[in-house]
Amino acid sequence: MWTLADQLISSRFILGTAQYPSLDILCEAVIASKTNIITTSLKRQLQPSPHENLFWNTLKKLNCLVLPNTAGCRHAIEAVNMAEMARELFQTHWIKLEVVGDDYNLQPDVFELIKAAKLLIKNGFEVFPYCTDDLVLCQRLVDCGCRILMPWVSPIGSGKGILNPYALETLRTRLPDITLIVDAGIGKPSHATQAMEMGMDGVLLNTAVSSATNPIKMATAFRDAIIAGRTAHEAGLMSERNVAHPSTVLLDTPFWHGEK
Amino acid sequence: MILIYLNSQSLFIDEFLTLSELLKNQGYISTHYAVALNQYFIKKTQYDKIILNHHDRVDIIRPMQGG
């Protein structure tokens, strides 16, 4: 068990709910992942539909905590408004703050992000900012009251894995008391393991599961990979060496070539 | 009558209609939505107090899948 934003939870896996082949597969993937937290978003209703509450009513049955996002926002004021709507709709003060500054790689607009984070924290939100892995940005977010950071490892949906391990290691070392959850760019379970081995506190992903041939099986694979990485981190990884070192002690072995 | 936009669709409504009355008239009776007026969030507790104006834009916001 561990504590995230004052909630005691068991899983270090946060799963997104978008782009699944069906609502049933989404539900089965969530159950297989054993996650405690799922992400959601908001949309404008263009046409009334008899099924308009189906998604939310289905999600409620999963008994997960909900982390709504501000996807699609480009300015702080938009993100603040969307967060207020999410708070009323989902009855949570948690918000995954996304303020995108570039349409091509969906990179966060770090200036608007900080502006929005300040306003939201002042308004009582627990802000989970989707940010880059830049140390100074992360420090500024912490300065304005963020207890949790969600650095990308590569662009959203790219599946490229950890492009800059040095930056993530730096964040872990320099911000030891901040909860770090990697968000965006994870493509394979091995990427998630790598992040957890580095001491990240959790992994948030969506596309790697929802776009898998078998999302339910992939949710299981990520669940196990995240546990493996965390367990390895807690166990303490060996230090790398630049030269070989025999694992078998060679003293007293027959045919010892060193003897004259 | 005044012209407003509900979910981007033009709609003529009576003058001095409150947001609450509009939502009721348009069949929004469930609680699973939030409302933005001219792109700003409006708390549920304010619906009764807001009188709609010419060219106001009312958007109904619902939960959706997200990553």
User: Nearest C-alpha of chain A: how many angstroms from B11?
Assistant: 14
Domain extents in chain A: 2-235
Residue with tokens 């965006």: A184
**A130-144 pLDDT, tens digit each:** 999 999 999 999 999
Domain membership of residue B66 (yes or no) is no
**A40-80 pLDDT, tens digit each:** 999 888 766 667 788 888 999 999 999 999 999 999 999 99
Mean pLDDT of A236-244: 93
CB contact set of A251 (below 8 Å; sequence gap of 6+): none
Q: How many domains does chain B have?
A: 1
Cβ within 8 Å, pair B34-A48: no
Q: If DSSP codes are grouped into helix, strand and coil, which group holds residue A77?
A: helix
Distance CA B35, CA B38 (A): 10
Cβ within 8 Å, pair B62-A20: no
Burial class (CB in 10 A: 0-12, 13-18, 19+), A64: buried
Question: Is residue A256 over pLDDT 60?
Answer: yes
ipTM score for this prediction:
0.90
User: Nearest C-alpha of chain A: how many angstroms from B64?
Assistant: 5
Give the CATH number for residue B57: 3.10.20.30
**A170-201 pLDDT, tens digit each:** 999 999 999 999 999 999 999 999 999 999 99
What pTM did the predictor assign?
0.91
Residue B19: per-residue pLDDT: 96
Range of the domain at B31: 2-61
Domain membership of residue B25 (yes or no) is yes
Residue A255: per-residue pLDDT: 74
Nearest residue, CB atoms, A39 vs list B36, B39, B66: B66
**Chain B residue whose CA is closest to A70:** B66
Domain membership of residue B55 (yes or no) is yes
May I ask the CATH class of domain A2-235? alpha beta
CB contact set of A191 (below 8 Å; sequence gap of 6+): A153, A161, A162, A185
Q: Which of A7, A32, A1 is nearest to A212 (CA)?
A: A32
Nearest residue, CB atoms, A81 vs list B27, B41, B67: B41
Domain membership of residue B19 (yes or no) is yes
Domain membership of residue B30 (yes or no) is yes
Domain membership of residue B67 (yes or no) is no
Domain membership of residue B48 (yes or no) is yes
Domain membership of residue B42 (yes or no) is yes
